[in-house]
Structure 1
Amino acid sequence: MNVYNAESISKILKGEILQQAGHPEIEHILLDSRKLNFAETSLFIPLVSARRDAHQYLAELYGKGVSNFVVSETPDLQKFPKATFILVKDTLQALHALVAAHRHQFHIPVIGITGSNGKTIVKEWLYQLLEKDYNIVRSPKSYNSQIGVPLSVWQMKPEHELAIFEAGISQPGEMVNLEKIIRPTIGIFTNIGEAHDEGFLNIRQKINEKLVLFMKSDVLIYCKDYLVLNECINTFHNQVGKKEGDNNMQLLTWSRKTEADIKILSIDKNDQHTRIDALYKNEPLHITIPFVDEGSIENAIHCWALMLFLGKSQEVIQDRMLTLGNIAMRLELKQGINNCSIINDSYNSDLGSLTIALDFLQQQRQHPTRTVILSDILQSGKSEATLYEEVAGLLEQQGIQKLVGIGKGIGREKRVFQQNPNLKSSFYNSTEEFLQNFNPQEYVNETILVKGARVFEFERIGKLLEQKAHQTILEINLNAIANNVQQYQALLKPGTKMMGMVKAFSYGSGSFEIANLLQFMGVDYLTVAYADEGVELRRAGITLPIMVMNPEPSSFDAILQWNLEPEIYSLHLFQLLEEEVRLSGKTQYPVHLKLDTGMHRLGFEKQDIPLLLQHLKEQDYFKVQSVFSHLAASEDPTKDAFTKKQATLFTEMSKEITQALGYPVLRHISNSAGISRHPELQFDMVRLGIGMYGVDNLPTMQEKLKNVSTLKTTIAQLKHIPAGEPVGYGAKWKSKEPATIATVRIGYADGYPRNLSNGKGKMLLHGQLVPVAGIIAMDMLMLDVTKVPQAAEGDEVIVFGEGLPVQELAAWADTIPYEILTGISQRVKRVYFQE
């Protein structure tokens, strides 16, 4: 395989070497400055988007030891005397070209997977099914984008014997780039649905765009039962399926309804298993999988087809299909024992997914100690010495303080971990040995990553470490929050800062977990309502500036101790805080001035400004960081005249203050609705609140946001009652006909509004809305599930989330989403996940 250095990379990219310092070998591609692991061997390629130009991180990375850069604009070379720079026209195109050239060096089977759903599961199941036969490289998690695919394919090494990559697109023109990078020899088209439909004219355009991935493939596997998909593939095959010579692309089809290469004869579900019988080359075959849902059945048949194409024996296929396991589609962050936080990733263990999990662990700053419980890494293709030396380097780079190694392989190489004086390590031959020696007192106030190959059954370790909770939980999708923040950032003018509102327990979503993410994303400021919220964030490792909106005199000491920035909204508060700062011996302490422009809640009014400025000029204890106000009705088109009036008054008042102060001061008035509806009111900074959590009154903006919070519970008991029987307190609800009543584990003490009793509120069960029956009690309530005959005890019930927006629940309760979200009780455990 080619050695990558400045000369070879410049030749591939047709770039210009602006400056060269030495001839270091390049092994790693770095796209995110926050995810640096191996500085000396990394090549940083700064990507440029409408919102962010990563060239701004060159100096930071150079200071951390990175010396190889591909850039699209010439830097001041005198600032980087020991760095190599290659100049190209477009850094994203350069990334694609470099990885496409890397892929061209390999002549192994490469499986490319696309479709609307199931890509990641099919990829991971194929890995489970084939890992005994091949040394496999595959996409980490769901890395299938214009950036994720190059990072996946760059992992290809000479020791690999099979590659499995997935590809996803959101608009026309994207797949042609991914096809050059993946260049699959074997294709799988999982299915076609509505995901990302908004980027395409119609479903045919979307299918045809995805088919570009298979321009050079030898075989394409798909289900004929998607009629439009079948038509498009046959047309595609007739047009481009002819390869050089007489070697045509082969279509390997399966169907439940019509003739196909694999004709599905029957599907029988029984006790959490499904038997699938089929006819292939006139031979009856069958498999059994440990799943009964339709998605898993479809995904398994795709895998079955691939195994048959590769010539695997029916006996091997049957044995391995029966052992298919659940796929962890996300990294989950849960509350653990002894004030620990647990990141559970106990389904697979390889270097790619380990790096991703360590990056997620690195984001967590709420505890002083970061611990990794790691199993043997199987099927890496490297010698144990080389493999674990690389793992040890990753742990050292990420500042991991504790390692628990489980498995004979990692145990044999414990010497390489013990060489790190900052790493406390212990080793066990098996999961069973660890469990027998488990002492919960050894894990206190830590963030613990549980990362293991499936055969080690690390879910048993996770159960020991996770805090026991009742079965009502609030799931927080960190990817959705990141998406929502980026959607609002895309609306901002260059240079406009963003303040993230994390008051009221981050609108019910959790304080430091959300603040951690916002800090990682580069948000400029955070805001809390009270000082104790800010203190909690500081204790959790949050270093961003934090504004306190309600600084009570009793909290001044904590504000000064933890470097929080109070809002000042009256001369009385000004004088009280000034005295506290004076006694502390501090000067130029950061504060924020709140102006009342029509909300009439808190703030200086226009007539107060002269006296306020006089006080400011007579002291040296405060430095004003920002001047701001609050829009009262920015979401309401009928109140736009009032919003404009507020903005005019704010402009006048803030101008008078900033001119008098004589130094730069941030100005901000826009909230979430203001960002989307009033772009002219951005000033120097905006405050993002409810929009971050997926709620916006502007329909065009709401379409771009993702659901963040899902409140779910479970059925505790089912009862079958005759017509006329009362249900619940007061016997106010009676069934008109024989009914099935489900008692679920949530009540008004959990935050479910009591005024949703007697059918006013509804929940989702198996995709169907079911009404509340009777009066909501403190800890539980009843649902009429008569129309869902498959309901069973233990079934999951969605209170709000995807399919049942919190806005709809709020409307039923005659309130607003803010109240629902912030009203979720602290006894409801939060589970955070990153896909």
Structure 2
Amino acid sequence: MIYTAENIAEILCAKATLQNANAIIEHLITDSRRISFPATSLFFALQTARRDAHNFIQEVYERGVSNFVVRTGFDTGAFTNANFIFVDDTLKALQNLAARHRAQFNYPVIGITGSNGKTIVKEWLYQLLSPGYNIVRSPRSYNSQVGVPLSVWQMGEENNLAIFEAGISMPGEMAALEKIIQPTIGILTNIGDAHNEGFKDRAEKLQEKLKLFKNCKTFIGREQDLAALDISNGILTWGSSNKNTFIISGVDKRKESTQLNITYKETVLNLFIPFTDNASIENAISCACVLLQLGIDKNIIAERMRQLQPIDMRLQLIHGINNCVVINDSYSFDINSLSIGLDFLLQQQQHAQKTVIISDIPSAQNSEPYEEVAAMLQARNIERVITIGEQWNHYQQYIKDKIAVTQHYQSTASFIEHFSANHFRNEAILLKGARVFGFEKIVALLEKKVHQTVMEVNLNAIVHNLNEYRSRLNKGVKLMAMVKAFAYGSGSAEVASLLQFHKVDYLAVAYADEGVELRKAGIHLPIMVMNVDEAAFETIIENNLEPELFSLNIFNAFISFLQKNGLQQYPVHIKLDTGMHRLGFEQKDLPALLPLLKGNHYIVVQSVFSHLAASEDPNEDTFTTQQSTLFEACCAQIREVLGYHFTMHISNSAAIFRRPELQYNMVRLGIGLYGVDSSNAQQLALQTVATLKTTIAQLRTVVAGDTISYNRRGKTTRDSLIATIRIGYADGFSRRLGYGNGKVFIHGHEAPVIGTVAMDMTMVDVTSIPNIKEGDEVEIFGKYIPVQQVAKWCDTIPYEILTGINQRVKRIYLEE
């Protein structure tokens, strides 16, 4: 299908101002940061409670996009060469266009919904059906009101099967998705607890999800979810009872696989899957039912199910050799996931040099996908591309015509044979390959070698938490993100790059050296330095950092430095002490400060701020109000002498939602960004950001009465199995966790620490934990043991635990 700007205006029944009515539209975009083919892209300026994309049209236009769908009344005067289509609701326009596109195709469309497992089932169906079909599917988890239309837009005449997932979080959302997907076959994975908060009960949630299938000829689901429905109306259920369409007569879990016995009509299917967990078993059954319904031979089904591969939906960002960063996305390969991986690569601004190592494309049946990949790499200005595989040997010219530096290897083994660490230095490297190419062997060569204790940092969780707080901001309030102390242990450069990508307004660090590291990492956001001394002035100026001035001595010294260097109008921040009594000008200092500010052309006061001492504590609300009253009075005096506007901020993470009236012009988001609610109010659905993990180095049996570790203070009361784990106080595992005060999580059980915590090792009692072995993973804190609990055991606060994790512990950054 070929669309022009004029076609789309007609489809949307919209008024338009078209400078080039025949402009070809191939790509729909909603994110100003993800533009690959500007000349043929149509930008939808979506409006949400948190953000209005109309504010980014100038940026998008400057990047080469000249086709826009905007709200009626938008002023287009500054964009003389662009096409504009005017609509009342840009999201509905996007959805209507996608629905019209979907209606052009008559091949089967599988629609998947449910509380859990949607993406896994979609990806497994792709694995199972791709040998016989040319499939278009949702990229990763594109299942939202925006993601679904972008997925459906990919449908083309070359495909003969589509697989899309649909996710909802409240009543009224599914009807729009059904009109876009228009599935012919439906799958309900399950009805669970996910998004319970949006529905009054499970029955309401089930009815909402079933709206996806209202025009389906067939849909498949679990008996326990659909038992109350009329199964004569095209509903095919699976379960253990004989009344089901698909009868599950056997589930036999082995050590590393599960045998399933499924009866469908006259067919008895016996198959093995390489998984033993219940979620994977249910997802595999859903897939097998679809294949049986499609009439695929049972022997083919059994063979393909045996080869099912786990789906890792996370991009891993790890520190590599020679100051490189490595993005491991080597679990599957299709054009859509490559686009996502490339966008993530471009976020890594700490390295200007970008390299992509890429395998053959398993689903490619001709040269077209290789041409598209080459164009994508060129559009993102990738400097070096290394191709691996026999197919790329035939299509090298596509790459050589577009990329400055190219290399080719016939196989992964050939790459490894010729590998030299000296060929990779000071760059960001994306590995994108199909699983059969075994790129994990290349990852092992490129990653920096450290011990097995790692901290996983979930970048999606940081974005989620950021948006949770943003949703609580009053209109027009800016956000300063705190990335001091190595971003609360999570990694300053990596977190700052993410925050810059998601357009926070300011960053704050404790010391100038931290700001320098961010500048070296390509961070161009304004950065406030909170602890300033005279020795740092030169560094601050050289790196365009903005100092906090908190005393008359520091103020006068900085003004003198600016005078000496002939600098004027330098941005600064004035810190007021309203009750914290740490740093800042007190009210009694203002008579001395105000004359220095008046008419001062050496500085520009960007903000005046203070620090709340106890905003998380309801018992201290009166004191918090006293602080804010004093703050406002001081700001009024400063404003009067300056004669210009400045930003005011006093709210920290807890105050953002506990005291919204104190948000003023900007807030400072700190510990909340990293998933910790310091108020313990549980009003925000924060997600865990950091997970600290290690492994078991050794297991030993110790008889009752024997002692463990230094000083012989750990004593067994029974014959015990003791695990030595690879973490100690040098890594940040506090000595206060010794002698049974702390616990770790192994195989679904808590294991108490026994004896003294050593520098590099700790011993835990695993006597009661079955099937344990050396090399098993151990969670120190994360999903199962919250960092707040570890802090409680240590009689401290989560801040200390997070910032205390030594930088020798490798950080692995994950993005879904």
TM-score bucket (shorter structure):
over 0.9
Q: Is the 8 A contact 2:389 2:411 kept in 1?
A: yes
Following the alignment from structure 2 to structure 1, what is the Cα–Cα distance between the partners of residues 264 and 465? Answer: 47
Asked if 1 retains the 8 angstrom alpha-carbon contact of 2:269 and 2:302, the reply is no
What secondary structure sits across from 2:33 in the alignment? helix
How much does 1:283 deviate?
Answer: 4.4
CA contact (8 A) 1:807 1:816 kept: yes
Q: Quick check: 2:488–2:799 contact (8 Å CA) kept in 1?
A: yes
Q: In structure 2, which of residues 453, 460, 468 is the aligned counterpart of residue 479 of structure 1?
A: 460
- Which is further off, 687-696 or 614-623? 614-623
Given that residues 612 and 650 in structure 2 are in contact (C-alpha distance below 8 angstroms), is that contact kept between their aligned partners in structure 1? yes
Equivalent position SS for 1:449: strand
Deviations 1:207-256 (A, max 9, x none): 111111111112222222xx3x1234x24x56xx3xxxxxxx2x333224
Superposed CA offset, 1:316-361 (max 9, x none): 2222222211212111100111111010000111111111111111
The structural deviation recorded for 1:63 is 2.1
After TM superposition, give the deviation of residue 77 of structure 1 in Å: 2.9
Distance 1:808 1:87 in 2: 53
User: Equivalent residue for 1:461?
Assistant: 442
Cα displacement string for residues 688-741 of structure 1 (whole angstroms, at most 9, x for unaligned residues): 000101111445555421111111112222233343333332332333333332
Partner of residue 398, structure 1? 380
Q: Say whether residues 1:784 and 2:736 are aligned partners.
A: no
* 1:78 match: secondary structure: coil
Matching residue of 1:370: 354
Cα distance in structure 2, aligned partners of 1:790 and 1:215: 47
Matching residue of 2:577: 596
Is the 8 Å Cα contact of residues 694 and 702 (structure 1) preserved in structure 2? no
SS of residue matched to 2:753: strand
Q: Percent identity?
A: 54
Amino acid at match of 2:515: G
Task: Write the distance in 2 (CA, Å) between the matches of 1:256 and 1:790.
Answer: 30
1:36 aligns to 2:35 (yes or no): yes
- Deviation track 1:88-112 (CA, whole Å, cap 9, x = no partner) reads 1111111111111111111111111
Q: Is the contact made by 1:136 and 1:379 (CA closer than 8 Å) also made in structure 2?
A: no
Counterpart in 1 of 2:317?
Answer: 333
Matched residue type, 1:60: E
CA contact (8 A) 1:129 1:321 kept: yes
Residue from 799, 804, 809 that aligns with 1:823: 804
Match in the other structure for 1:139: 138
Letter paired with 1:96: Q
Kindly provide the amino acid, as one letter, of the partner of residue 75 in structure 1.
F
What are the Cα deviations for residues 158-201 of structure 1, in whole angstroms up to 9, with x where unaligned? 00011111111111111111111111111111122111111111
The whole-number CA distance in structure 1 between the counterparts of 2:712 and 2:141 is 51
Aligned-pair distance for 1:827?
1.1
Q: Distance in 2 between matches of 1:730 and 1:554?
A: 45
Which residue of 619, 632, 637 corresponds with 1:638? Answer: 619
Per the alignment, do residues 335 and 390 of structure 1 end up closer, same or farther by CA in structure 2, a change over 3 Å counting?
same
The one of 252, 273, 285 aligned to 1:289: 273
Q: Give runs of aligned pairs for residues 5-154 of structure 1, distance below 5 A.
A: 5-154=4-153
Corresponding residue to 2:226 among 223, 230, 235: 230
1:350 aligns with 2:334: yes
> Residue in 1 aligned with 2:292?
308
Contact 2:551 2:585 in 1 (8 A): yes
TM-score if structure 1 supplies the norm length?
A: 0.95
Judge which range, 30-39 or 396-405, deviates more. 396-405
What does residue range 597-636 of structure 1 map to in structure 2 within 5 Å?
597-617=578-598, 619-636=600-617
Q: Which residue of 2 aligns with 1:278?
A: 262
Q: Equivalents in 1 of 2:601, 2:595: separation in Å?
A: 12
Structure 1 residue 78: deviation in Å?
2.5
Q: What is the aligned counterpart of 1:560 among 528, 537, 541?
A: 541
Deviation (angstroms), 1:416: 2.6
Summarize deviations over 1:446-471 as a string: whole Å, max 9, x none: 11000011222211111111112222
Taking structure 1 as reference, are residues 286 and 84 closer, same or farther at Cα in structure 2, changes over 3 Å only?
A: same
Instruction: Give the partner amino acid of 1:230.
Output: L
1:216 — aligned with what?
Answer: 215
Partner of 2:686: 705
The CA deviation at 1:140 is 0.8
CA offsets, 1:738-794, max 9 Å, x none? Answer: 333222211111111211112211222222222222222211212222332132222
Render the CA deviation track for 1:785-811: whole Å, top value 9, x for unaligned: 233213222222211111321111111
Which of 752, 755, 770 is 2:733 aligned to? Answer: 752
Structure 2 residue aligned with 1:654 = 635
The Cα shift of 1:570 comes to 0.9
Q: Which region of structure 1 is more displaced relative to structure 2, 555-564 or 701-710?
A: 701-710
The aligned residue for residue 418 of structure 1 is 400
The match for 1:726 is 707
For 2:458, give the aligned amino acid.
Answer: N
Deviations 1:12-49 (A, max 9, x none): 22222244433111110010011111111111111111
| Correspondence for 1:678 among 659, 663, 688 | 659
* 2: CA distance, partners of 1:588 / 1:830: 39
The answer to whether the Cα contact below 8 Å between 1:375 and 1:452 also exists between their aligned partners in 2 is: yes
Does the Cα contact within 8 Å between 2:109 and 2:182 map onto a contact in 1?
Answer: yes
Report the counterpart of residue 238 of structure 2 in structure 1.
Answer: 254
The aligned residue for residue 160 of structure 2 is 161
Mapped to 2, the partners of 1:98 and 1:554 lie a distance apart of 59
> Could you tell me which residue of structure 1 aligns to residue 185 of structure 2?
186
Kept in 2, the 8 Å contact 1:51–1:490? The answer is: yes
State the one-letter code of the partner of 1:51: R
The two structures have a TM-score, normalised by structure 2, of 0.97
1:794 is paired with a residue of what secondary structure? coil
Does residue 409 (structure 1) correspond to residue 391 (structure 2)? The answer is: yes
| Structure 1 range deviating more: 758-767 or 87-96 | 758-767
Contact preservation (8 Å) 2:351, 2:428:
yes
Partner Cα separation in structure 2 for residue 568 and residue 219 of structure 1? 68
CA RMSD of aligned residues (A): 1.7
- Specify the alignment match of 1:244 in structure 2: none
- Tell me which moved more, 112-121 or 787-796: 787-796
Moved more, 313-322 or 252-261: 252-261
How far has the Cα of 1:575 moved from its partner?
2.0
Alpha-carbon offset, residue 408 of structure 1: 2.8
Give 1:127's aligned amino acid: Y
Q: 1:245 corresponds to which residue?
A: none
Q: Residue 77 of structure 1: SS of its match in structure 2?
A: coil
- Counterparts of 1:578-589 in structure 2, within 5 Å, are 578-589=559-570
Between the aligned partners of 1:702 and 1:435, the Cα distance in structure 2 is 51
- Post-superposition offset of 1:389: 2.9
**Per-residue CA shift, 1:262-298, capped at 9, x if unaligned?**
3333333334222223333354431122222222222
The CA distance in 1 between the partners of 2:210 and 2:679, in whole Å, is 35
Amino acid at match of 2:153: W
- For structure 2, which runs of at least 5 residues remain unmatched after alignment? none
Query: 1:388-443: per-residue Cα shift (whole Å, max 9, x none)?
Result: 332222222212111111123333222232223x6311112222221211111111
Q: Secondary structure at the match of 1:35?
A: coil
How far residue 650 of structure 1 moved from its aligned partner, in angstroms, is 0.7
1:581 CA drift (Å): 2.1
Contact 1:6–1:17 (CA under 8 A) maintained in structure 2: no
Matched residue type, 2:115: S
Query: Which residue of 435, 447, 458 maps to 2:416?
Result: 435
DSSP 3-state at the match of 1:719:
strand
Q: How many angstroms apart in 2 are the aligned matches of 1:774 and 1:714? A: 18
Paired residues of 2:489 and 2:804 also in contact (CA < 8 A): yes
C-alpha contact (below 8 Å) 1:135/1:380 kept by paired residues: no
